Amino acid sequence: MQWTVRLETRTSAGEVTTTELATISRPGVVSTLAEVGLVLAETKTLLAKLQASTLCGQVAEYAAHHRICPQCGVLQPLKDRRTRRLQTLFGTVEVEAPRFKVCRCRQSAPLAEAATISPVCALLTARCTPELERVQAELGARSSFRDGARILEALLPVAPANHESLRARTHAVALQLEAADRQAAAEVTAVRGEPAKAVAADDHRPVVMLDGAYIRAVPGHPVRNFEAICGKVEREGHPTRRFALVRSVAEQPHALLRAALLDQGWREGDAVTAISDGDPALPALVRSATGGPVESILDWFHLSMRVQHVEQVMGGLCALEPPPLVPLDQARIDVERLRHLLWNGHHDKACEALGRIVSWAKEASVLNEPAMGAGAGRLVARCTELRAYIETNKGALIDYGQRCRAGKPISTSRAEGTVNQLVSARMNKRQQMRWSPRGAHRVLQVRAAVLDGRFGHPAIQLAA
Ligand SMILES: [Zn+2]
């Protein structure tokens, strides 16, 4: 059996041409399943030819349209024929890019234009179609550049499909995304000074959850690991917006967060809630992004972890065999109350309790047997740590119970999910993966956009 694929082209002037694209031959009576239907190699060739035919036809029509002088309507003389190459998802296509002499009627204009025009060169503003760039960037953000290139190469007649090209496209798209964020952030700054319409009701206040993640640096980098800040902005009635940045290389770190907030309907002057792990740099970033009021909340999860450390050491002391001679009861009660006190916003009382535990433990370690002494020493260390953490973050401690009962977030645990999605899954998956801060920052921009579903599908601007 034989099939012939013909492409019939009808131009807008009504002219019809037929091009033969491919002939497919198969035994009429097949002997194996593999002979049934099209195979990938044929399909890739067919797609490449279909793309080349339609694209060249379209570009030729475009050139013909622009050959007509816009002022007097006569055909401008052809100067020479050149070619340009355009990379697409369906192969690299060489298109004709004729140059025309500018019509005489326009040459007499006082400001003489360039003597020739090349409409096709003006149309092809990049070496690849936006769609190819977007798909390459998306693959580069989702998988390693090498794997992404292999996937593309396996399925499509795209060329070149190497990892360098994937990396370059991912970086290029990241720069576009970042520039768009900076612009969005700057536009609103320009109208600053207008009175804020109405301060967002507390219930609809955007919540920024921030967390840090460490990425292994490329050899030769001054440090072994560098930090990426990841987070998300949540607001009722809006889809979650993720953002990520490597502070040392982000041009305007606050602009990225600001753009994320604006995307969530936040407006200048509206209050924002920031939940983070106690690193003062994180709420500071939110403050510089909003330039306004920020309610900072210490993440309950990180606080709770430190309480747990105290509880574990105390648990170890209680389990000692034989039981220690010094009575443990009072200290145990204090340790048991810690979580409850902090949960309900009584951090002063929690600090008092910690003080009592520490002085008890110091006494106990002097009076008692060596096994007890080691445990008591650890208890002092853990309690001192927790107390310092509470003191440092005093301004960000709240009545977690009340906030939780109101159904509001109290933890960045969801931001940690973001860290996993953004950083771990792409960057720490394999131990040998090492990054430059710039490379990581750019991949994170695209990855956040891809995961949010923000990655647009721009229409291919080819039709004249
Ligand atoms: Zn003219």
- Grade residue 275 by pLDDT with cuts at 50, 70 and 90: very high
Residues 6+ positions from 103 with CB-CB distance below 8 Å: 69, 71, 72, 74, 76
CA 401 to chain CA centroid, Å, is 33
Q: State in Å: Cα 383 to ligand 1 middle.
A: 86
Taking 50 as the threshold, does the pLDDT of residue 271 lie above it? yes
Residues 6+ positions from 428 with CB-CB distance below 8 Å: 215, 216
Contact 415, 232 (CB under 8 A): yes
Measure the CA–CA gap between 264 and 274, rounded to whole angstroms: 14
Identity (one letter) of the amino acid at 392?
Answer: T
Q: State in Å: Cα 71 to ligand 1 middle.
A: 5
pLDDT digit string (tens) for 395-434? Answer: 899 999 999 998 888 887 765 677 777 887 788 766 568 8
Measure the CA–CA gap between 453 and 417, rounded to whole angstroms: 17
Q: State in Å: Cα 85 to ligand 1 middle.
A: 30
Q: State in Å: Cα 95 to ligand 1 middle.
A: 26
Residues 6+ positions from 50 with CB-CB distance below 8 Å: 7, 21, 90
Q: State in Å: Cα 13 to ligand 1 middle.
A: 22
- How many CB atoms lie under 10 A from the CB of residue 17? 11
Q: Nearest to residue 265, comparing CAs of 234, 289, 286?
A: 234
Taking 50 as the threshold, does the pLDDT of residue 459 lie above it? no
The residue ranges of every structural domain in the chain are 2-123, 132-187, 301-396
Q: State in Å: Cα 76 to ligand 1 middle.
A: 7
Q: State in Å: Cα 118 to ligand 1 middle.
A: 16
SS3 content of the chain, % helix, strand, coil (to 5): 50, 15, 30
Q: State in Å: Cα 448 to ligand 1 middle.
A: 50
Which whole number is the average pLDDT over 213-230? Answer: 88
pLDDT digit string (tens) for 337-358? Answer: 999 999 999 999 999 999 999 9
Q: State in Å: Cα 218 to ligand 1 middle.
A: 59
Contact 368, 376 (CB under 8 A): yes
pLDDT digit string (tens) for 57-110? Answer: 999 999 999 999 999 999 999 999 999 999 999 999 999 999 999 988 877 655
Q: What's the pLDDT score for residue 85?
A: 95
Tokens of 107: 């040459």
pLDDT digit string (tens) for 5-62? Answer: 999 999 888 899 999 999 999 888 888 988 888 999 999 999 999 999 999 999 999 9
Stated as kind and residue range, the H or E segment containing 85 is strand 83-88
Which whole number is the average pLDDT over 240-263? Answer: 90
Q: State in Å: Cα 77 to ligand 1 middle.
A: 11
Q: Choose between 4 and 219: higher pLDDT.
A: 4
Query: Average model confidence (pLDDT) for the chain?
Result: 86
Q: What's the pLDDT score for residue 91?
A: 94
Q: What's the pLDDT score for residue 201?
A: 55
Pairs from 312-320 (Cβ < 8 Å, separation ≥ 24): 313/375, 313/378, 313/379, 313/382, 314/379, 316/375, 316/378, 317/372, 317/375, 317/376, 317/379, 320/371, 320/372, 320/375
Taking 60 as the threshold, does the pLDDT of residue 169 lie above it? yes
Residues 6+ positions from 398 with CB-CB distance below 8 Å: 297, 298, 345, 410
Measure the CA–CA gap between 198 and 338, rounded to whole angstroms: 40
Q: State in Å: Cα 265 to ligand 1 middle.
A: 50
Q: State in Å: Cα 311 to ligand 1 middle.
A: 87
Contact 177, 446 (CB under 8 A): yes
Measure the CA–CA gap between 350 and 390, rounded to whole angstroms: 9
Q: What are the φ/ψ torsions at residue 199 (nearest 5 degrees)?
A: -65, 130
Burial status of residue 407 (CB atoms within 10 A of its CB: 0-12, 13-18, 19 or more)? exposed
Q: Which protein residues have their CB within 5 A of the ion that is ligand 1?
A: 69, 71-72, 103, 105
Sign of CA dihedral 275, 280, 285, 287: positive
- Grade residue 149 by pLDDT with cuts at 50, 70 and 90: very high
Q: Highest mean pLDDT range out of 256-260, 318-322, 432-436?
A: 256-260
pTM, to two decimals: 0.81
Measure the CA–CA gap between 380 and 376, rounded to whole angstroms: 6
Q: What's the pLDDT score for residue 453?
A: 85
Taking 50 as the threshold, does the pLDDT of residue 111 lie above it? yes
Q: State in Å: Cα 70 to ligand 1 middle.
A: 7
pLDDT digit string (tens) for 281-314? Answer: 888 899 999 988 889 999 998 899 999 999 999 9
Q: Choose between 213 and 7: higher pLDDT.
A: 7
Q: What's the pLDDT score for residue 441?
A: 95
- Grade residue 198 by pLDDT with cuts at 50, 70 and 90: very low
Q: State in Å: Cα 108 to ligand 1 middle.
A: 10
Q: What's the pLDDT score for residue 202?
A: 60
- Grade residue 191 by pLDDT with cuts at 50, 70 and 90: low
Q: State in Å: Cα 27 to ligand 1 middle.
A: 59
Contact 212, 227 (CB under 8 A): yes
- Grade residue 112 by pLDDT with cuts at 50, 70 and 90: low
Taking 50 as the threshold, does the pLDDT of residue 115 lie above it? yes
Q: What's the pLDDT score for residue 122?
A: 94
Q: State in Å: Cα 98 to ligand 1 middle.
A: 18
Q: State in Å: Cα 74 to ligand 1 middle.
A: 6
∠ CA(241), CA(243), CA(244), 5° rounding?
Answer: 160
Q: State in Å: Cα 68 to ligand 1 middle.
A: 8
The residue whose two tokens read 């052809």 is: 78
Q: State in Å: Cα 16 to ligand 1 middle.
A: 29
Percent of the chain residues past pLDDT 70, beyond the cut = 91
Taking 60 as the threshold, does the pLDDT of residue 193 lie above it? no
Q: State in Å: Cα 14 to ligand 1 middle.
A: 25
Q: Nearest to residue 51, comparing CAs of 18, 87, 81, 100?
A: 87
